Amino acid sequence: MALPLASRGVFLGAVLAWARAAGEFGAVIFVGGPGAVDFVEKSRSVSILLKRVVKAAAKKNGLAASFMAKPFAEHAGCGLHVHVSLVDEDGNIVSLTQSINHFFGSGIVPEGTGFLLNNHMDDFSMDPHSPNAPGPHRRPVSNMGPLILFRSGRPFLVLGSPGGTRIVPSLTQILFNVTRFGMSLDEAIEAPRFFSYSTGGRAGDLHLEDRIPEATRAALERLGHNLVVREAYDKYFGGAQGLMLLQDEGLILGGADSRRDGSGAGY
């Protein structure tokens, strides 16, 4: 199997890493509940935002992440998310990521229900000036990204993953693998992943799986990235579950991530 980061060289890895950091930078300005952010007004700042991102990338500076309630390290290893992708015989589609946030959520089970309440209030920022600050009618930022991708006007991919802040980068890499590198869904999900973050105004480490070639890792280090090499199929990078709908062939193909529990089934 041709791995994207190996076959397309270091450039893609560097660009996507900076794009992820740029996304966190944009979140400082744009991310917040609809009642907290004037999206029309903020959208006028897009060109300024892009210039600032490019300038920051060129100088290898970190990008702000004030929307986070806590430093990223405090969130690492915690969380309880699951994802399910479904298609029924009538063509109805569900892409559902369910989360109670931390393990056991709030730790509260309403009497007579048998389920835990989440603690997603923790996702608000404690910075009162952040667009993600708590307030009336506001909703906290969420990392969840269940998706249904259309091709030529018809559903093509149903995809999602647990994994906290690694969800969006992981799904992006899977989409690249399918749509740009011609992988099957299972190959795209199983391919090695990487992740970068920004916190405290500085770019964080670049986490990647040890299946990414050493030559690629060395080139990334020469570009200034501080690498954290993780084991193959590390659950740190989520556990994507997906369906590929090949409608002309009348086929539905499933893909389940070896990094965590999950499987495909038909009926």
Integer Cα distance of 242 and 254 in angstroms = 6
Integer Cα distance of 213 and 30 in angstroms = 36
Residue 193 domain-assigned? yes
Distance, CA of 105 to chain centre: 20
pLDDT of residue 210: 96
pLDDT of residue 30: 52
Please give the model's pTM, rounded to 2 decimal places.
0.71
Residue 264 domain-assigned? no
> What CATH number is attached to the domain comprising 30?
3.60.20.40
Integer Cα distance of 237 and 207 in angstroms = 9
Amino acid occupying residue 51: K
pLDDT of residue 100: 84
Residue 10 domain-assigned? yes
What SS3 state is found at 107? coil
Residue 266 domain-assigned? no
List Cβ neighbours of 169 (8 Å cut-off, separation of 6 or more).
16, 20, 193, 194, 195, 196
pLDDT of residue 37: 58
Evaluated on CA atoms 180, 183, 187, 189, the torsion sign reads positive
Amino acid occupying residue 114: G
pLDDT of residue 265: 82
Residue 265 domain-assigned? no
pLDDT of residue 115: 86
Nearest to 150 by CA among 159, 141, 138, 142: 159
Residue 261 domain-assigned? no
What Cα–Cα distance (Å) separates residue 38 from each residue in 31, 41, 88, 141?
A: 10, 5, 39, 15
pLDDT of residue 141: 86
pLDDT of residue 34: 58
Domain tally, the chain: 1
Domain that holds residue 220: 4-256
pLDDT of residue 29: 47
Residues of the chain with pLDDT under 50: 1-15, 17-19, 21-29, 39-40, 43-47, 49-50, 53-54, 57-58, 60-78
